Amino acid sequence: MCLDTAKAKECALSWAVETNKIMCSYVLPSTYPEGFNGRELNGTYYDGATQIVEKQVAIAGFRMAGWLNAMFVGNDMMEEMIKEQQQDRAREVRSDEL
């Protein structure tokens, strides 16, 4: 995940490439552009798209939080979060062994 504020253009490009892959793999039918003619977007398509949208919104929130932390705190807090998760897992393993 790109959260380096010194590489804003590179981060934005990597996010756009990621989103474009979703666009090509799910949003557009394999027969695009003719594939939309006479077709109705049904519930199955909607359900799949909803899951993708929810995930993308969550990713966007995570990125925004990382960037805001990086701009105002001086780092994205990712290292601290990873260390806390590792410590929590280690505590769980130790408590399971008791």
Please give the pLDDT value at position 66.
81
Please give the pLDDT value at position 44.
81
What would the two tokens of residue 53 be? 């949208």
Which amino acid is present at 8?
A
Which amino acid is present at 37?
N
Q: Where are the domains of the chain?
A: 5-97
Find out whether 76 and 70 touch, Cβ atoms under 8 Å: yes
Cα angle 57, 86, 69 (rounded to 5 degrees) comes to 45
What pLDDT, in 10s, does the model give residues 20-72?
998 888 877 677 667 666 667 778 888 888 999 999 999 999 888 888 888 78
- Could you tell me the pTM of the whole model? 0.62
3-state secondary structure of 66: helix
